[in-house]
Amino acid sequence: MANALKSPGWAYRGGVLARAVAAIGGGYGVAALWAAAIATWLPAVKVEAALTGTMIAFVVYPCAVMWCFAARSAARAWVGLALVALPAGAALALHASMNGGVA
């Protein structure tokens, strides 16, 4: 904020842009991965599993957005997103390899 009050420099603007991309695009990606991972791995009827994954994704997304702007730097924001995406991505990949196809 202090930075914002002075005429914001390009470094600051670039940081905001990097965070915004992380939040909007990266956050959506993380949410989508979790939606698919939960849907495939939840031991429930298909409709139920798909619904559960989709609804949880809408909690993941805003939290990811907030994280991206709360992190100390844009780089940290991206690293955090990657860490959260990892288990979901791994679960999906595992499922795909077990079923011998793209999930």
Partner 1 sequence: MKDGFRQSMAWLHTWSGLLVGWLLFLVFSAGTAAYFRDEITLWMKPELHQAAHTPVPQAVALGHAQALLARRAPTAQRWFVTMPSEREPAVRASWVPAKPEAKDGAAKDAKPKGRRRFESAELDPATGEELNKPRATRGGDFFYRLHFDLHYMSPIWARWMVGVAAMCMLVAILSGIVTHKRIFKDFFTFRPAKGQRSWLDAHNVTAVLALPYHLMITFTGLVTLMFLYMPWGVQALYPSQDRFFTDLNNALPADARPAKQAVPLAPLAPMLAQASAAWDGAPAGRVTVNFPGDANATVLISRQSGRTIGYDQPDMLFDGTSGRMLSSTRHTGAATTTRSVLYGLHIARFSNPLLRGLFFLSGLAGCAMVATGLLLWAVKERQKHAKRLAHGGRHIGLRLVDGLNLAAIAGLPVAMACYFWANRLLPAAMAQRPEAEIRWFFIAWGVTALVALARPTRRMWQAMLAAGGVLFALLPVLNGATGGAHLVTSIAHGLWPVAGFDLVTLALGGALLLAAWHLQKPAVLKKPSHKPLAAEAA
User: CB-hemisphere CA count at 13 Å for 58?
Assistant: 4
94 binds partner 1 (CB under 8 A): no
Cα-Cα-Cα-Cα torsion 9, 12, 13, 15, nearest 10 degrees, comes to: 160
**Interface pick for partner 1 out of 9, 14, 25, 44 (rule CB under 8 A):** 44
Could you say which DSSP state residue 100 is in? T
**Interface pick for partner 1 out of 62, 93, 97, 98 (rule CB under 8 A):** 62
Spatial contact of 67 and 81, defined as CB atoms under 8 Å apart: yes
**Interface pick for partner 1 out of 9, 14, 58, 79 (rule CB under 8 A):** 58
What residues line the site for partner 1 (CB under 8 A)? Answer: 1-5, 12, 15-16, 31-33, 35-36, 38-40, 44-55, 57-58, 61-63, 65-66, 69-70, 72, 92, 103
